[in-house]
Amino acid sequence: MAHADEAAIFNKDEEKVDWHDKALWFVRQKRDKSAHNVKGWETLRNLASAIKANVMSNLDNYLIQFEENAQKNGITVHWAVDADEHNKIVHSILQQTNVKKVVKSKSMLTEECHLNPYLEAHGIEVVDTDLGERIVQLAKEPPSHIVLPAIHKTKEEVDVLFQKHLGTKPSHGDPQYLTNEARKHLRDKFLKADAAITGVNFAIANTGGIVVCTNEGNADMGAHLAKVHIACMGMEKLIPEEKHLGIFLRLLARSATGQPITTYSSHFNKPASGTEMHIIIVDNGRTEQLSREDFRASLHCIRCGACMNTCPIYRRSGGHSYKATIPGPIGSILSPGKDLTKHSDLPFASTLCGSCSDVCPVKINIHEQLYKWRQIITKNVPQPVVKKTILKMAGRVLANTKLYDFAGKSARFMLKYAPRWVVYSKLNTWGKARDLPEIKDGNFDQWYKKRQRHE
């Protein structure tokens, strides 16, 4: 089902749509307030964008530098060309270290690679330890937002879910109670885990270290308790130097939730004694995206989710309507690069309002890329016959003054004199919920000609 159909279903429950919209708009407003408190916010965005552009154009060198430095620190570095290789590497590390239970903090990359089902199929227990991630994991759903994975669920729904899976008492969705119960449940999982998987927010080329940002400290608790730490990163996560964190950390949390900084910005530079640390650097289509000049900047993304919170369509259609690991505006420019046909509806799930590009902390020109994907999609993916025919015909009519004049007059005549049931037939999608403009006696051309005659 295409985004429009999913969105129509989501919109059947208007109360829920309003709730979803307001919840995310609240986050957007928090972001606005917090960004206003930073002098030179727009300068920070410019700097971040320029640093990321530098990284993309020198990615090969930075990756090699990062690997060398990480290895010097005693970290084992792996390279995965795609999701399958990534999953196999994770599994082989777990096999070698005889691990059966894994805790995992938030990582959109492992979602992209579908790591959980892969490991579960090999008899390994994987527990997502971010509260939102755990909620969707228990509900057997994918995250609907990259920062707020369970934003589509109300606290009452979480209550029911926890009763079923964690044996909690009904609490009318008491957040304090439910969070405490989740905490107890996860504490137990942390203590029993043999390995911890984390994502990577920033990989620093000149130190070989990584930075993981969380609000719950779950990445730290996992990594510090387990004897094996596997950090999975997309190859675009690099920044050249540690000092650049001063720019990115200030932008990330403010853009994501309006906090000045994430509660934990944890630096992992080397394995603690007696433990192992692995980093898996994953391509999975990124090199290809890098080769597309018009879409290269999509790799600047630091996964803050601000474009989702600001997007009027995302807020009213929910993350699941995009049917992609990364939903919302940024996902709609990343996903077509992975599978053009499957995701061909996504660049059209936008009014091109441009709010995403203006909110983006690394200044990705998201709405311009959406426009560009549209041009590629109509050439490469079969389009609805009616849409294609009408637009191609419009191209000819509007390029010809006489045809245009004739078409304009006939259309106005039809709309003015045809009976209402003809004009508002099922074929008129516009007219389902909207009236058509009232047709005046003449058009502007006619008025102007008449005025000239009288002058």
Partner 1 sequence: MKVGLFIPCYINQLYPQVGIATLELLEKLGLNVDYPMGQTCCGQPLGNSGYENDSKGICSLFVENFKAYDYIVGPSGSCVYHVKKHFDILEQTEDVKRVRKNTYELCQFIHDVLGKTDLGASFPYKVGIHKSCHGLRGLRLGSCSERMDAHYSTEEDLLKNVKGLELKTLKRVDECCGFGGTFSVFEEAISVKMGNDRIRDHIDSDVEVITGADHSCLMHLEGLINRNKQPLRVMHIAEILNSSM
CB of 152 to partner 1, least distance (A): 16
Going 101 to 105 to 107 to 112, the CA torsion angle's sign is: positive
Q: Does 232 bind partner 1 (CB under 8 A)?
A: no
CB of 131 to partner 1, least distance (A): 28
Q: Does 353 bind partner 1 (CB under 8 A)?
A: yes
Cβ proximity to partner 1: between 274 and 395 the closer is 395
CB of 88 to partner 1, least distance (A): 38
CB of 35 to partner 1, least distance (A): 6
Pairing of strands 101-104, 76-80: unpaired
Residue type, 385: V
**Count of chain residues binding partner 1 (CB under 8 A):** 72
Cβ proximity to partner 1: between 16 and 88 the closer is 16
Q: For residue 1, what is the enclosing H or E element?
A: none
**Site pattern 406..445 for partner 1 (x: CB under 8 A):** --x--xx----------------xx-xxxxxx-xx-xxxx
CB of 419 to partner 1, least distance (A): 18
Residue from 120, 339, 396, 422 touching partner 1 (CB under 8 A): that is: 396
* Residues of span 276-335 touching partner 1 by CB under 8 A: 310, 312-313, 316-317
Which region among 46-54, 170-178, 212-220, 372-380 touches partner 1 (by CB under 8 A)?
372-380
CB of 260 to partner 1, least distance (A): 15
Beta strands in 129-191 (DSSP E): none
The answer to whether 334 touches 372, Cβ cutoff 8 Å, is: no
Lay out the sheet containing 195-198: strands in order across: 76-80, 276-282, 228-234, 195-198, 101-104, 125-128
Which region among 122-130, 261-269, 330-338, 379-387 touches partner 1 (by CB under 8 A)?
379-387
CB of 251 to partner 1, least distance (A): 12
Cβ proximity to partner 1: between 42 and 188 the closer is 42
Residue from 142, 217, 240, 354 touching partner 1 (CB under 8 A): that is: 354
Cβ proximity to partner 1: between 146 and 377 the closer is 377
Residue type, 371: Y
**Site pattern 27..66 for partner 1 (x: CB under 8 A):** -----x--xx-x--xx------------------------
Name the nearest CA neighbour of 216 among 321, 279, 133, 278: 133
Cβ proximity to partner 1: between 137 and 310 the closer is 310
Let me know the angle formed at the C-alpha of 114 by 110 and 120, rounded to the nearest 5 degrees: 105
Cβ proximity to partner 1: between 265 and 383 the closer is 383
CB of 263 to partner 1, least distance (A): 24
Name the nearest CA neighbour of 284 among 31, 28, 80, 4: 80
Tell me phi and psi for residue 284, to 5 degrees: 45, 55
Pairing of strands 125-128, 210-214: unpaired
Which region among 104-112, 138-146, 270-278, 350-358 touches partner 1 (by CB under 8 A)?
350-358
CA distance 150 to 156: 12
Name the nearest CA neighbour of 313 among 351, 347, 342, 345: 351
Residue from 399, 421, 454, 455 touching partner 1 (CB under 8 A): that is: 399
Q: Does 8 bind partner 1 (CB under 8 A)?
A: yes
- Other CB atoms within 10 Å distance of the CB of residue 273: 6
CA distance 2 to 6: 6
Tell me phi and psi for residue 319, to 5 degrees: -65, -35
- Other CB atoms within 10 Å distance of the CB of residue 416: 12
The answer to whether 305 touches 106, Cβ cutoff 8 Å, is: no
Q: Does 385 bind partner 1 (CB under 8 A)?
A: no
Cβ proximity to partner 1: between 41 and 264 the closer is 41
Q: Does 11 bind partner 1 (CB under 8 A)?
A: yes
CA distance 338 to 308: 20
* Residues of span 109-128 touching partner 1 by CB under 8 A: none
Residue from 110, 266, 332, 355 touching partner 1 (CB under 8 A): that is: 355
What contacts 24+ positions apart, CB below 8 Å, involve 82-86? 82/282, 82/283, 82/284, 82/285, 83/112, 83/113, 83/114, 83/282, 83/284, 84/113, 86/113, 86/115, 86/232, 86/280, 86/282, 86/284
Name the nearest CA neighbour of 197 among 329, 287, 285, 89: 89
CB of 295 to partner 1, least distance (A): 15
CB of 360 to partner 1, least distance (A): 9
Let me know the angle formed at the C-alpha of 393 by 387 and 397, rounded to the nearest 5 degrees: 140
Q: For residue 411, what is the enclosing H or E element?
A: helix 401-417
CB of 21 to partner 1, least distance (A): 7
Residue from 245, 264, 404, 423 touching partner 1 (CB under 8 A): that is: 404
